């Protein structure tokens, strides 16, 4: 029979850190820590493979598994010198889940398993600590009831809160022995009422049920949502860890805590953590009492503190990464209960990666690989304008749980957060505390505000992971879910009111506050420099105006990959000239209107060229159907008629004429230039004249003129002739020349197929993957949103293909287009300018298929730079692996 259970502790463990896939992160690291000789309570891990078999086997434990468990339990008993279920000297265990990827709060733990009335009585005699025994028991019933038997958590909470209220206990620790006994009685009653059976007193039954429940929880809704949101795939399941209990709730010499080897918010290399005395398990994270900072421990218990510091130092060196650890102190003795790579904010990830290279713990390549490109977004996001923040009405202060700044309307539950956000509202999800059920709502909110819980509370941990601004534990806030109101001293806010939170300082304000762009730190620049050293792909930006170009330059853009000329048509008065051109009845009057546009376009291009200096600038000729430039409603049509001094009927007639059933497949792109060559003639003239003018200030401009929507080589040769002719005319007139390129977008599937023919005419290709996706999949870009979300939810499409390039389908056309294009033009320059150019997995694809550059919106430039570096490193590593084989 295959081995499914691995023992750890009490000498050499059967597992180790490298067995994460099989033992889950928690199990593998518990084994590793005990192999390092650290004080880890012994136990054993049931593998993730067993979980996979459980699901293959219609949710039944694999044959022989429980015999293996029994054998390991025997071994645990002999290591612990105690017996499971034996009142005389009982062994209590925890049952803990844990998959290969850490999923905080997703699958619940049962502590103190093995207790029953008889054992409790014996425990009292043995420990002389009656309070402890009853506290452990009531916790056990609650956790077992909730996690294993699905008794609503609220039922238990209600009993506990009622009791506390009646005896005027502020904290759980204020409850007396009799209070606890009474709670146990009520817990048992509610357990029976909900499950229609007695609480199981047989420890073995308790264990069997718990193991089943952990496996079962792998596919609960929360776990599935978490995996989906975090893109976690390809795991077998969760492992189950059965571990001897140590107790932090034995009195004031005992306690439990969570700590990080460096600050997870800022990355500062300083020990960081929180703990509570006389507490157990999740108390610290659940925000039951406000935890103490770890530095307090150094004063209160020097010995334990020093030991803990040496553990964290060793673990960080050993794993060469920032560690997130759990520990328990039982009557002055320290035990390590978990270690894992700590979740961190982008700022902290950056600082830690750069610092660790300096400390010679990791290489530059490793530093680059450790940062999730998508996470960089956080650093580029706005903060409050300092002056506006100074003047804002500050109402409270909490913990700076996740940095950034957010302004939005108050909502009180996750459901409303999602609904309001769907309507396009910015909301601040305001809760007493959050729980895993709130995840989708947290994701939809602009920021998260809680009145309870510490820096390691659910809200804080999850928000940091999401890169979402969060202020936690604002004790002064009185949140009333029923009345949908918040009261802070004399201020009352209700649902829908504006509130602003600063996740970097923990401050809460009423009203809206102006935000400003992010400043880039030295570490950011260092890492980007390293990325630039290893990446092969160029990174350009999509920018239409000098301001966007400048932003992109600050972020490291190396050129413009797409300038959409028509975006300039809406600026100021130019729309008037554009409309004149559209209304023109003949070429001559059209040319007259175009003449008005020429100097405006030329000035726009000059601005862009000046901003970009010597870097290449790709300008796309007019693309959208003309109807986009005329008003569709009566009032605006009347206004247009007045401005242009024509009868309104004429305007209406034109609008009707321009109407298309399917404009995305209609009269647009190069098709416009073919019907109205004078438009692209004017645009070419503006581009080349602007380039010549800017050249005078010693800037070597290198314009690249791009023809959109080509699907047939005849289209490109027609347009090219017009463009070339115009360029030569300008050169002649200006008595000068400059280098330029003429190329095309590849966005019609046919163009990808006949790319060899098209490349004979085009000096460069730029894949317009938005249109290419639309036409390849047959999904209207403007309508697909309605059903694509469902496609993704139902797993028909793994990802929205407009967000993440569909490598399997659209990607094949891209690959084919590049191959065929380069078959007839070896030095064909190839890039991408769709939304995908800034999406990490798509960037990796672009690297693999041999593109020269990607182009994306300014804020995504750093993401693309890092993603491109990671693609290059991955390729290098693959090659190295290949050679070894
Ligand atoms: P999670 O994955 O949600 O962090 P854990 O399995 O780590 O869940 O356990 C939840 C809490 O219970 C943690 O604080 C952990 O330290 C504590 N805990 C787990 N097992 C034991 C044990 N054997 N003795 C004492 N505390 C434990
Ligand atoms: Mg938990
Ligand atoms: Mg844990």
Phi, psi of 740 (to 5 degrees): -150, 170
Q: Which two tokens stand for residue 140?
A: 């056990």
Residue range 145-172, pLDDT digits in tens: 999 999 999 999 999 999 999 999 998 8
**pLDDT tens for each residue of 526-584:** 999 999 999 999 999 998 888 889 989 999 999 999 998 877 787 667 888 899 999 99
| 89 alpha carbon, distance to own chain's centre | 48
Cα(436) to ligand 3 centroid in Å equals 15
- Closest C-alpha to ligand 1, atom 17: 281
Ligand 1 atom 12 nearest Cα: 281
For ligand 1, atom 26: residue with the closest CA: 281
> Dihedral, CA atoms, 227, 232, 234, 236, nearest 10 degrees?
-50
d(CA 461, CA 342): 10
Q: Which atom of ligand 1 is nearest to the CA of 93?
A: 23
Q: What are phi and psi of 162, to 5 degrees?
A: -60, -45
Q: Higher confidence at residue 219 or residue 885?
A: 219
Q: Which ligand is nearest to the CA of 101?
A: 1
109 CA distance to ligand 1 middle (Å): 7
Residue 105 reports pLDDT greater than 60: no
**Ligand 1, pocket residues at CB < 6 Å:** 41, 94, 96, 105, 109, 111, 243-246, 256, 281-282, 326, 328, 337-338
Task: For 569-595, write each residue's pLDDT tens digit.
Answer: 876 678 888 999 999 989 999 999 999
Q: What is the pLDDT of residue 689?
A: 97
Atom of ligand 1 nearest to the CA of 106: 3
CA of 269 relative to ligand 3 center, distance in Å: 22
- Residue 46, SS3? strand
Mutational test site, ligand 1, from 210, 278, 291, 328, max ligand atoms within 8 Å of CB: 328
Q: Which bound ligand lies closest to the C-alpha atom of 256?
A: 1
Name the closest ligand to CA 336.
1
Would you say residue 384 has pLDDT above 80?
yes
Q: Which ligand is nearest to the CA of 24?
A: 1
CB 27, CB 38: distance < 8 Å: no
Q: How far is the CA of 461 from the centre of ligand 2 (A)?
A: 12
- pLDDT of 885 reads 66
Ligand 3 centroid, distance to 285 Cα (angstroms)? 10
* 702-723 mean pLDDT: 97
Per-residue confidence (pLDDT) for residue 437, from 0 to 100: 74
Rounded distance from Cα 326 to ligand 1 centre (Å): 8
Q: Which ligand 1 atom lies nearest to the CA of residue 284?
A: 14
Nearest CA to ligand 1 atom 6: 96
Centroid of ligand 2 to alpha carbon of 124 (angstroms): 28
Supply the residue whose CA is at minimum distance from atom 14 of ligand 1.
Answer: 281
Residue of 240, 248, 338, 343 to test ligand 1 pocket, by largest number of atoms within 8 Å of CB: 338
Percentage of the chain beyond pLDDT 70 is 98
- pLDDT tier, 520 (very low <50, low <70, confident <90, very high otherwise): confident
Q: Pocket of ligand 1, candidates 34, 110, 111, 147: which has the most ligand atoms within 8 Å of its Cβ, to mutate?
A: 111
Query: Per DSSP, what are the bridge partners of residue 94?
Result: 243
- pLDDT at position 209 is 96
Mean pLDDT estimate for the chain: 92
Alpha-carbon distance of 681 to 671, in angstroms, equals 14
**In angstroms, what is the span from residue 50 Cα to ligand 1's centroid?**
21
pLDDT at 731: 97
SS3 (DSSP) at 45 = strand
Query: Would you say residue 811 has pLDDT above 90?
Result: yes
Average the pLDDT over each of 115-124, 394-403, 591-600 and give the range with the smallest value: 394-403
**Residue 415 is among the residues annotated as catalytic for this protein:** no
Give the total residue count for the chain: 885
Q: Is 31 helix (H, G, I), strand (E, B) or coil?
A: helix
Q: What is the reported pTM? A: 0.81
Catalytic residue, candidates 833, 836, 846, 847 = 833
Best of 337, 457, 462 for a ligand 1 pocket test (most atoms within 8 Å of beta carbon)? 337
Confidence at 790, pLDDT banded by 50, 70, 90: confident
Closest to 14 in 3D by CA, of 26, 2, 25, 30: 30
pLDDT, one tens digit per residue, over 430-446 is 999 888 778 889 989 99
Average pLDDT over residues 29-43: 97
Among 229-233, 478-482, 538-542, which stretch is predicted with the lowest mean pLDDT?
229-233
pLDDT tens-digit map of 857-880: 887 899 999 999 999 999 999 999
Which residue's CA is the closest to the ligand 1 atom numbered 13? 281
| pLDDT at residue number 574 | 82
- Return the residue whose CA atom lies nearest to atom 22 of ligand 1: 245
State yes or no: pLDDT of 601 exceeds 90: yes
CA 151–ligand 2 middle distance (angstroms): 17
Phi-psi region for residue 17, left (φ > 0), alpha (ψ -120 to 50) or beta? alpha
Instruction: Say which residue the tokens 């009531």 belong to.
Output: 138
Ligand nearest to the CA of 340: 3
Is 458 catalytic? The answer is yes
Residue 57 alpha carbon to ligand 3 centre in Å:
28
Helix (H, G, I), strand (E, B) or coil at 404: coil
- Give pLDDT, residue 106: 60
Q: Whose CA is nearest to atom 8 of ligand 1?
A: 109
Task: Determine the residue of 282, 288, 342 to mutate for testing ligand 1's pocket, defined as the one with the most ligand atoms within 8 A of the Cβ atom.
Answer: 282
Catalytic residue (choose from 4, 381, 458, 627): 458
The string of pLDDT tens digits covering residues 815-856 is 999 999 999 999 999 999 987 998 999 999 999 999 999 999
Atom of ligand 1 nearest to the CA of 327: 16
Burial 812-829 (b: 16+ CB within 10 A, else e): ebbbbbbebbbeebeebb
Q: What is the pLDDT of residues 734-755, one digit of tens each?
A: 999 999 999 999 999 999 999 9
pLDDT at 571: 67
For residues 450 and 459, the answer to whether their CB atoms sit within 8 Å is yes
Beta strand 853-856 with 538-542: parallel, antiparallel or unpaired?
A: parallel
């Amino acid at each position: 029979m295959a081995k499914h259970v691995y023992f750890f502790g009490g000498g050499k463990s059967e597992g180790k850190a490298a067995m994460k896939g099989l033992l889950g992160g928690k199990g593998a690291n518990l084994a590793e820590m005990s192999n390092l000789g650290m004080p880890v309570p012994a136990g054993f891990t049931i593998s993730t493979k067993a979980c996979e078999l459980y699901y293959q086997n219609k949710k039944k434990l694999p044959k022989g598994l429980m015999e293996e468990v029994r054998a390991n339990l025997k071994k645990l008993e002999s290591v612990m010198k105690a017996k499971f279920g034996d009142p005389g000297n009982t062994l209590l265990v925890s049952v803990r889940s844990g998959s290969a990827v850490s999923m905080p709060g997703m699958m619940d733990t049962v502590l103190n398993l093995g207790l029953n009335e008889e054992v409790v009585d014996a425990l009292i005699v043995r420990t002389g600590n009656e309070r402890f025994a009853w506290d452990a028991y009531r916790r056990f019933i609650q956790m077992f009831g909730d996690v294993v038997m699905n008794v609503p958590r609220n039922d238990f909470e209600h009993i506990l809160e009622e009791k506390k209220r009646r005896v005027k206990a502020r904290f759980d620790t204020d409850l007396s022995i009799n209070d606890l006994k009474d709670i146990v009685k009520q817990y048992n009653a509610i357990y029976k009422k909900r499950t229609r059976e007695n609480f199981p007193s047989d420890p073995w039954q308790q264990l069997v049920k718990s193991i089943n429940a952990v496996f079962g929880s792998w596919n609960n809704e929360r776990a599935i949502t978490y995996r989906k949101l975090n893109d976690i795939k390809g795991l077998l399941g969760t492992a189950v860890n059965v571990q001897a209990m140590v107790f932090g709730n034995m009195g004031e010499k005992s306690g439990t805590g969570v700590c990080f080897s460096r600050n997870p918010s800022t990355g500062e290399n300083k020990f960081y953590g929180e703990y509570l005395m006389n507490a157990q398990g999740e108390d610290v994270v659940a925000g039951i009492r406000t935890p103490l900072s770890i530095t307090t421990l150094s004063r209160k218990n020097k010995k334990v503190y020093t030991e803990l510091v040496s553990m964290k130092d060793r673990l960080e060196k050993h794993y060469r990464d920032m560690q997130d650890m759990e520990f328990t102190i039982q009557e002055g003795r320290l035990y390590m209960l978990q270690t894992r790579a700590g979740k961190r904010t982008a700022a902290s990830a950056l600082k830690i990666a750069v610092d660790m290279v300096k400390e010679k713990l990791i290489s530059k390549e490793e530093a680059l690989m450790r940062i999730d490109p998508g996470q960089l977004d956080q650093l580029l996001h706005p903060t409050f304008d300092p002056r506006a923040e100074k003047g804002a009405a500050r109402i409270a202060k909490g913990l700076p749980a996740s940095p950034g700044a957010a302004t939005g309307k108050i909502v009180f539950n996750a459901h409303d957060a999602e609904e309001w956000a769907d309507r396009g509202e910015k909301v601040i999800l305001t809760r007493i505390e959050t729980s895993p059920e709130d995840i989708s709502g947290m994701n939809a909110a602009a920021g998260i505000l809680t009145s309870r819980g510490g820096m390691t509370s659910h809200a804080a941990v999850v928000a940091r992971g999401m890169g979402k601004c969060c202020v936690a534990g604002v004790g002064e806030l009185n949140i009333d879910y029923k009345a949908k109101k918040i009261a802070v001293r004399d201020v009352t806010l209700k649902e829908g009111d504006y509130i602003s939170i600063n996740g970097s300082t923990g401050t809460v304000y009423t009203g809206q506050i102006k935000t400003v762009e992010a400043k880039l730190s030295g570490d950011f620049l260092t890492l980007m420099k390293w990325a630039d050293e290893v990446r092969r792909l160029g990174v350009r930006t999509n920018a239409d105006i000098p301001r966007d170009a400048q932003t992109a330059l600050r972020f490291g853009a190396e050129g413009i990959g797409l300038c959409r000329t028509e975006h300039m048509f809406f600026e100021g008065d130019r729309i008037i000239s554009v409309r004149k051109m559209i209304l023109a009845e003949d070429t001559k009057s059209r040319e007259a209107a175009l003449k008005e546009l020429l100097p405006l376009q030329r000035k726009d291009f000059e601005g862009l060229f000046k901003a970009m200096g010597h870097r290449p600038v790709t300008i796309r000729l007019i693309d959208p159907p003309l109807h986009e430039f005329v008003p569709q409603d009566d009032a605006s049509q009347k206004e247009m008629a007045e401005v242009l001094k024509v009868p309104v009927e004429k305007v209406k007639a034109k609008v009707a004429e321009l109407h298309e059933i399917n404009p995305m497949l209609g009269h647009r792109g190069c098709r416009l230039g073919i019907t109205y060559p004078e438009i692209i003639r004017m645009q070419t003239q503006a581009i080349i004249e602007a380039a010549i003018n800017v050249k005078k200030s010693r800037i070597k401009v290198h314009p690249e003129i791009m023809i959109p929507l080509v699907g047939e080589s005849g289209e490109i040769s027609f347009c090219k002739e017009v463009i070339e002719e115009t360029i030569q005319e300008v050169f002649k007139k200006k008595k000068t020349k400059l280098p330029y390129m003429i190329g095309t977008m590849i966005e019609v599937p046919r163009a990808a197929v006949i790319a060899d023919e098209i490349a004979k005419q085009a000096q460069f290709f730029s894949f317009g993957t938005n249109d290419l996706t639309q036409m390849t999949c047959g999904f209207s870009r403007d309508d697909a949103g309605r059903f694509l979300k469902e496609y993704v939810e139902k797993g028909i499409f793994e990802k929205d293909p407009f967000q993440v390039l569909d490598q399997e389908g659209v990607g094949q056309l891209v690959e084919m287009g590049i191959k065929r294009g380069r078959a007839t033009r070896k030095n064909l320059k190839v890039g991408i300018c769709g939304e995908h150019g800034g999406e990490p997995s798509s960037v990796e694809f672009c690297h693999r298929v041999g593109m020269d550059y990607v182009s994306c919106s300014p804020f995504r430039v750093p993401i693309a730079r890092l993603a491109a570096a990671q693609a290059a490193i991955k390729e290098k590593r693959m090659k190295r692996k290949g050679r070894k084989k």
